[in-house]
A and B are shown apart, each in its own frame.
Chain A
Amino acid sequence: AQSVTQLDSHVSVSEGTPVLLRCNYSSSYSPSLFWYVQHPNKGLQLLLKYTSAATLVKGINGFEAEFKKSETSFHLTKPSAHMSDAAEYFCVVSVWGFQKLVFGTGTRLLVSP
C-alpha cells in the first residue's frame, strides 16, 4: 500500500526567504511522486513530478524537489518565497501501473511581507 505523510500542517516564511515543505512516502513499489498546489477555492495545479528519471526535479514557479529513496522523502523547496506562493500544497504518491493517487493531508504555506 502507498501512503504519504506531510510533516507540517502549516509553514510560515517571510517573503524572499527559502521555502521547505516536507513529505515522506511509503510504497511497496517504485513510486511516482507529485506536488500539487491549490489556491483558495481553486482546483489543483501540478508543480512537479518524479517518475523514476532524474532524482532532482524542477518544477514551475521556481520550485524543485529531490527524491531520496534512502530517506523515503520528496521535500519541496524554493530559494525565495513570493507572496503569491501562499497556498495549500499537497504531496501525492502513486505507483506505476496503478491509477489511484494517494494524497497527503496538505501543508498550508503562509508568506508574510
Chain B
Amino acid sequence: GAVVSQHPSRVICKSGTSVKIECRSLDFQATTMFWYRQFPKQSLMLMATSNEGSKATYEQGVEKDKFLINHASLTLSTLTVTSAHPEDSSFYICSARDRQAGEFYNEQFFGPGTRLTVL
C-alpha cells in the first residue's frame, strides 16, 4: 500500500518549452501533496505544498509562475515547469499524505522522482 507514482521518470526538453510532471497516489487518497527539488548530491528542497481543490503554497524563493502546480483530484497533482531553462534541470520528487491518516499524522509517501534535463 501507499504507493506514489511519477510520470515521466525522465524527460529531456529544449530550452523555452514547458514540461508537465504527474504525481499520482495509486492506492490512497491524498489531500496534500508536496513537490521537492533535489540537486546532485544534495538534500531535498521543498518547493511547494498543494492541497486538493485549492492553490498551492510555495516556499520562499520559488517562482509560482515558473512552477505551476495543479492538484485537481485526490489522487493527482501536476507540476508544470514553464519556459524551461538549463538551470531548471534537476531531479523533481513528489510526495503525498494519506487522507485517512488523520490531520496530525505527518508521514509522507514519496514518488520515484523525475529527472528533467533542459538542453
Q: Which residues of A contact B (CB under 8 A)?
A: 32, 34, 36, 41-46, 49, 51, 90, 94-101, 103-106, 108
Complex interface bits, B90-116 against A, C-beta within 8 A gives 1, otherwise 0: 010101010000011111111111010
CB contacts (< 8 Å) of A98 on chain B: these are 106
Whether A100 lies near B46 (C-beta < 8 A) is yes
Q: Which of B32, B43, B113 contacts A42 (CB 8 A)?
A: B113
In the complex, A97→B101 CA distance in Å?
Answer: 12
Q: Which residues of B contact A (CB under 8 A)?
A: 4, 6, 32, 34, 41-44, 46, 49, 91, 93, 95, 97, 103-113, 115
Q: 29 pairs across A/B with beta carbons < 8 Å?
A: A32-B106, A32-B107, A36-B110, A41-B91, A41-B115, A42-B113, A43-B4, A43-B110, A43-B111, A43-B112, A43-B113, A44-B44, A44-B95, A44-B110, A45-B110, A46-B107, A49-B107, A51-B105, A90-B44, A94-B106, A97-B104, A98-B106, A99-B49, A100-B49, A101-B34, A101-B46, A101-B106, A105-B42, A106-B43
